[in-house]
Structure 1
Amino acid sequence: MTNKTIDDFQTPGQALKYFLSSYGWTQDDLAHILTISLKHTNEIIKDKKPISIDIARLLEKVFDWKAHEWIMLDTSYQLSKKIEEAKEQLVERQVEVYKYLPINELLKKGWLKPYENIEGLNKQLHSFWNVPKNKQLDFSILESNNINIEYRKSDAYKDPTNEINARAWYQMALNHSQKLNVAPYDKNGLEELLSKLHTYTIMKSGISKFLNDLGKVGVKFVFLSHLSKTYLDGAAFASETGPVITLTGRYDRVDNFWFNMAHEASHVLLHLPKKNHKNMVFMDDSTSSITSKKEKEANEMAEKILLQDEILEFFDEYIGYITEEKVTEFSLSKKIHPSIVVGILAFNEKVSYSTLHRFKESVRDKIPNKYRAEKV
């Protein structure tokens, strides 16, 4: 007789080992008593086989516990085993996924929602990459993804994980762009809009107005922070529903916002085909050197849009003593934000970047929520 209950054991095998020790029996003895094979007895004791109702009834005849107690202990063990197996599968899946996606960062940013099992993870990954539920998700898609990314990038991209993150960032931007409705793409309309872009920079609610007008000429805009190691300021890409411009707000400055906007819009105008080809993506790090022909062309157009030649010509005679009053004078006469004026002068080493602090102004809070891929 024993005072032990099923709560004292985690598995039927543990209980049987205890009983055999208490009775001084061997596995062979138990097999003989139960009239089953030694192999079957050994498998039950090692928890390799579940306890059937028939075996539970036999054990009731041999030991102190009722048949239903043996069934309850076995059921509890089988459930816990399935939970552990599910955890192991999830861990294995996460190890696989982490080679291609910064899952933890995506969770922190809210790009993915918390999940409890492998089914929850797979469901979100299928949704994120727009893969049908009945189709297996091949992670090689993250390496090819049928897109051709052209980078204006720093040496940081020597790390292959950076490109993986950049592709994930692109996919998040693409997903949000599909939620936006704009007019059909009008190349001539975009060209006209860019010719007066500088005037929006000094308008009240100028950013909101420009983004609205950008949609009227068929260009979608998405605001999305960059992932770690990507060092992105913005991107321009074609999609099935038209061209998309995405900015990260990496530097929360007026001059940076408008220059990157002008640069990416120039890519749309100059380098994205009139007919949509979803495999063309331009990604830009504004702090890196420019080497490709297309990047130089986009930069030159952006400089023209933001009146760089006029700014440099006007301030040429004031080099060394450029005052706030002169910056304001030019800004008002040409209808362009003073921060952009100083930013161009600083980039061309005519003034110190510290001068920008006088005209510092945040832009993040001026971007309407509908353009934000991340909700605030």
Structure 2
Amino acid sequence: MELRVIKDEVQYAALLDEAKEIALADPSKGSPSAERLEVISLLLENYESTRFLLERPDPIDAVVYRMAELGLKQKDFADIIGSRSRASEVLARKRPLTLEMIRSIHERLYIPAELLIGQSREVGVTVEEDWTLFPLKEMKKRGWFENEEGKTGEQLIKSFFSRTSSNSAPVMLRRSLAGDSGASDSHALYAWIARVLIRARELKRSDIRYVSGSITDEFLRQLSKLSGSEQGPLLAREFLAMKGVVLVVEPHLPKTHLDGAAMLDEDGTPVIGMTLRHDRVDNFWFTLMHELVHVQRHLGKGTAFVDDSESAGRDKTETEADIFAAEAFIPRQIWKSSDAYRLKRADSVKALASSLMIHPAIVAGRIRRETNNYRILKEFVTAGGLRELFGLHS
């Protein structure tokens, strides 16, 4: 097949399959197959770097915009989905769209169904909704509440969530959850997000403000080199603080499958939360870089990206974050031509890591992920040490 610039998903899928087939054949350097693989890799890289850049509009924003365009009121929307109360809750982001609603909206408002499905899994939680759904016992155990004496469980939950707002008014955490968080309990997720925001305000440096656009590709490459140090994770936290980005390490709550998250505080400060659920060097660095790509490319007010690194359902935004996170550590051209990629041996892993000044666990972790073979190179990705480094109890 003649090689041309990729213009659609069909061409992309065909070239991706061919690249995998050639790579598995392990062609020798300089051979026609190796040269063809290099050209295909460049074409794939070019397409991947542009295909994910357009951020999908929020489904509710799309509905509101279309209603305004057609001169429709909330009562008209109620007729479309069959209930006034549901219409009110959907537009207030208190109730997610169901498949039946999506079908009806698509047919009546002519909004593409794929846009209505969107990337948001949940749009907000209210304490009034049912405070008993929050993991109160675990939150108490971790000391998340202030002045507990004499307060009821409902009062504790309301007071806790009010601390996520600068004016202490709302008892709702209204954020769309994007990303991959597996089959996590939404109330536990929102409680964890609130805790991360509260802690971020305690850690935030008052003398440094985040400047939009300062998380550049070059900055990410510089950050990646800190991984070579035993104190690298702590250095990374300081390095990010100098840019006005707050890194919070907070263990995940039961019923959540969470490695990291990225969000903006009310004042525009980027906040990255990490759980260290997998106490491994490769997982820490890849998760951190993944969340930083969200800050760089995707993050907007009112949205939190919550990520489970083991989730199988990666959408386009998550795939983009994976691609650019991997690129920050090992550029594609270097990766495809490396002995580590071809041979997958311990000595080649060490050699590539040394040349790039990154931790060898990152190289080994990439090989394990891409081959889906977690039995190899185990000596590089053993668990332990990070929780102690951040002062957490195992």
Normalised by the length of structure 1, the TM-score is 0.62
User: Which of these residues, 336, 346, 352, is aligned with residue 324 of structure 1?
Assistant: 346
How far, CA to CA, are the matches of 1:341 and 1:316 in structure 2? 8
Q: 1:245 to 1:96 in 2, by over 3 A?
A: closer
* SS of 1:152 mapped into structure 2: coil
The residue type paired with residue 311 of structure 1 is W
Counterpart mapping for 1:156-175 below 5 A: 156-157=183-184, 162-175=185-198
Q: CA deviation at 1:125?
A: 2.8
Q: 1:260 to 1:122 in 2, by over 3 A?
A: same
How far, CA to CA, are the matches of 1:285 and 1:123 in structure 2? 31
Q: CA deviation at 1:236?
A: 0.3
Unaligned runs of 5+ in 2: 1-126
User: Which of these residues, 210, 234, 252, is aligned with residue 185 of structure 1?
Assistant: 210
Normalised by the length of structure 2, the TM-score is 0.59
Q: CA deviation at 1:168?
A: 0.8
Q: CA deviation at 1:149?
A: 1.2
Considering only CA atoms, is the larger Rg found in Structure 1 or Structure 2?
1
The residue type paired with residue 235 of structure 2 is K
With 287-296 and 239-248 compared, the bigger mean Cα shift is at: 287-296
Count residues in correspondence: 260
How far, CA to CA, are the matches of 2:149 and 2:236 in structure 1? 43
Q: 1:315 to 1:187 in 2, by over 3 A?
A: farther
Aligned Cα root-mean-square deviation (Å): 3.1
Q: 1:127 to 1:235 in 2, by over 3 A?
A: same
* SS of 2:256 mapped into structure 1: coil
How far, CA to CA, are the matches of 1:352 and 1:121 in structure 2? 44
Partner of 1:220: 246
Percent identical across equivalent pairs? 27
Q: CA deviation at 1:349?
A: 1.1
Q: 1:304 to 1:123 in 2, by over 3 A?
A: same
Are the equivalent residues in 1 in contact too, given 2:136–2:153 (CA < 8 A)? no
Are the equivalent residues in 2 in contact too, given 1:153–1:289 (CA < 8 A)? no
Partner of 1:124: 156
Are the equivalent residues in 2 in contact too, given 1:224–1:246 (CA < 8 A)? yes
How far, CA to CA, are the matches of 1:136 and 1:237 in structure 2? 19
* SS of 1:235 mapped into structure 2: strand
Partner of 2:144: 111
* SS of 2:318 mapped into structure 1: helix
How far, CA to CA, are the matches of 1:185 and 1:107 in structure 2? 33
The residue type paired with residue 181 of structure 2 is K
How far, CA to CA, are the matches of 1:121 and 1:263 in structure 2? 36
Q: Are residues 1:302 and 2:325 paired? A: yes
Q: 1:353 to 1:217 in 2, by over 3 A?
A: farther
Deviations 1:33-92 (A, max 9, x none): xxxxxxxxxxxxxxxxxxxxxxxxxxxxxxxxxxxxxxxxxxxxxxxxxxxxxxxxxxxx
How far, CA to CA, are the matches of 2:263 and 2:163 in structure 1? 20
Q: 1:354 to 1:364 in 2, by over 3 A?
A: farther
How far, CA to CA, are the matches of 1:177 and 1:234 in structure 2? 14
User: Which of these residues, 263, 272, 275, is aligned with residue 290 of structure 2?
Assistant: 263
How far, CA to CA, are the matches of 1:114 and 1:354 in structure 2? 51
Q: CA deviation at 1:323?
A: 3.0
Unaligned runs of 5+ in 1: 1-92
Deviations 1:9-53 (A, max 9, x none): xxxxxxxxxxxxxxxxxxxxxxxxxxxxxxxxxxxxxxxxxxxxx
Are the equivalent residues in 2 in contact too, given 1:234–1:260 (CA < 8 A)? yes
Are the equivalent residues in 1 in contact too, given 2:131–2:154 (CA < 8 A)? no
Counterpart mapping for 1:285-300 below 5 A: 285-300=308-323
Q: CA deviation at 1:359?
A: 4.7
How far, CA to CA, are the matches of 2:253 and 2:375 in structure 1? 26
Are the equivalent residues in 2 in contact too, given 1:233–1:285 (CA < 8 A)? yes
